């Protein structure tokens, strides 16, 4: 084999490893029957959530995954396989992949790698059903804020009652003085 070709393949393997290692979630998708236009549509949807999709030769992907010391079922990298890698928001990436697979019957989620562990299709679907990163942050802030707000109301309530009592006494005195 030509040394230039061998070097190019080593570069591709290194690029695959880097993209998988740097992603909180990697999804392997069988894209058989998907048109080029629809694959580009998937690319655009993933780009919107800071994720990407690439198609590599399965042999090079297998080498990259083995070198990452990840054991995986053999059928994970059989047939046409697109590699979807996430940015920071792994839930939104999983949602895009799962929703896309639902839109196109020919597209099948094979499984993936979640923080270094191989996961199946059901795990990816469960991940996609979780709230997104921004929603989780908002929920956390709300959970932190709620007790503080209640505490402020509790502290404020006696003061409000005192003010209402003083206003009632003032009104009563004005009635007595006027009447």
pTM over 0.85: no
Q: What is the pLDDT of residue 158?
A: 72
The answer to whether residues 175 and 139 belong to one domain is: yes
The answer to whether residues 38 and 114 belong to one domain is: yes
The answer to whether residues 116 and 135 belong to one domain is: no
Q: pLDDT tens digits for 21-60?
A: 888 899 999 988 888 899 899 999 999 999 999 988 989 9
Domain that holds residue 47: 3-130
Q: pLDDT tens digits for 83-112?
A: 999 888 888 899 999 999 999 888 899 999
The answer to whether residues 105 and 147 belong to one domain is: no
The answer to whether residues 118 and 81 belong to one domain is: yes
**H or E segment at 28?**
strand 25-30
The answer to whether residues 148 and 102 belong to one domain is: no
The answer to whether residues 13 and 93 belong to one domain is: yes
User: What is d(CA 52, CA 23) in angstroms, rounded to the nearest whole number?
Assistant: 10
The answer to whether residues 34 and 55 belong to one domain is: yes
The answer to whether residues 118 and 136 belong to one domain is: no
Average pLDDT over residues 130-156: 74
How far CA 63 is from CA of 6, 13, 98, 105, 174, in Å, comes to 13, 7, 26, 29, 90
**Residues 6 or more apart from 123 whose CB is under 8 A from it?**
111, 112, 114
User: What is d(CA 47, CA 44) in angstroms, rounded to the nearest whole number?
Assistant: 5
Count how many domains the chain has: 2
Q: What is the pLDDT of residue 99?
A: 92
Q: DSSP secondary structure string, 76-142?
A: GGSSSEEEEE--S-HHHHHHHHHHHHHH-TT-EEEEEEETTEEE-HHHHHHHHHSPPHHHHHHHHHH
CATH number at residue 27: 3.30.70.1730
User: What is d(CA 109, CA 56) in angstroms, rounded to the nearest whole number?
Assistant: 16
The answer to whether residues 63 and 97 belong to one domain is: yes
The answer to whether residues 143 and 59 belong to one domain is: no
């Amino acid at each position: 084999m030509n040394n230039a070709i061998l070097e190019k393949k080593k570069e591709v393997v290194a690029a695959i490893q880097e993209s998988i290692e740097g992603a909180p979630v990697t999804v392997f998708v069988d894209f058989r029957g998907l048109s080029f236009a629809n694959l580009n549509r998937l690319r655009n949807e993933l780009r919107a959530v800071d994720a990407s999709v690439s198609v590599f030769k399965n042999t090079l992907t297998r080498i990259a995954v083995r070198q990452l010391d990840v054991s995986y079922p053999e059928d994970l990298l059989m047939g046409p396989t697109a590699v979807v890698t996430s940015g920071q928001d792994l839930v939104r990436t999983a949602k895009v992949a799962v929703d896309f697979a639902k839109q196109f019957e020919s597209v099948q989620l094979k499984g993936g790698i979640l923080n270094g562990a191989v996961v199946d299709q059901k795990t990816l679907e469960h991940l996609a059903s979780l709230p997104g990163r921004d929603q989780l942050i908002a929920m956390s802030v709300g959970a932190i804020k709620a007790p503080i707000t209640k505490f402020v109301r509790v502290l404020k309530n006696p003061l409000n009652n005192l003010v209402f009592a003083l206003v009632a006494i003032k009104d009563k005195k004005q009635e007595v003085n006027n009447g």
